[in-house]
Amino acid sequence: KNEVEQSPQNLTAQEGEFITINCSYSVGISALHWLQQHPGGGIVSLFMLSSGKKKHGRLIATINIQEKHSSLHITASHPRDSAVYICALYGGATNKLIFGTGTLLAVQP
């Protein structure tokens, strides 16, 4: 069983739509990252969360530690948001990131 599960695996949206990507995990964590990977391959950290909610521009990330669940929301989506979004977490005793499988988002104009 994967320690990190993301849903959906693929998501197609129309420009302007509100998007939610979900991440559930089964291990105790110290922090969770939402990462963005563009077709060229590079990975960028969007958020690091250990509790509550963070907002950056049109992106919002939330985490519920008790329910072992995190969500990434994109408001007013745009074609340039098209990318793979990855949930990755630090387990309590480890210094490495455990990656989810990613959600491939395509925003159509």
Partner 1 sequence: EPEVTQTPSHQVTQMGQEVILRCVPISNHLYFYWYRQILGQKVEFLVSFYNNEISEKSEIFDDQFSVERPDGSNFTLKIRSTKLEDSAMYFCASIGTKANSGNTIYFGEGSWLTVV
Residues of this chain that bind partner 1 (CB under 8 A): 30-31, 33, 35, 40-45, 48, 50, 86, 88, 90, 92, 94-102
Q: Rounded to the nearest whole angstrom, what is the least distance from the CB of residue 19 to partner 1 in the complex?
A: 20
Nearer Cβ to partner 1, position 72 or 77?
A: 72
The Cα 95–Cα 109 span in angstroms is: 40
Q: Rounded to the nearest whole angstrom, what is the least distance from the CB of residue 94 to partner 1 in the complex?
A: 7
Q: Report CA dihedral (72, 73, 74, 75) to the nearest 10 degrees.
A: -160
CB atoms within 10 A of CB 68: 17
Q: Rounded to the nearest whole angstrom, what is the least distance from the CB of residue 37 to partner 1 in the complex?
A: 8
Nearer Cβ to partner 1, position 25 or 90?
A: 90
Question: Residue 55 has which token pair?
Answer: 């907002």
Nearer Cβ to partner 1, position 36 or 77?
A: 36
Report which of 82, 62, 102 is spatially closest to residue 13, judged by C-alpha positions.
82
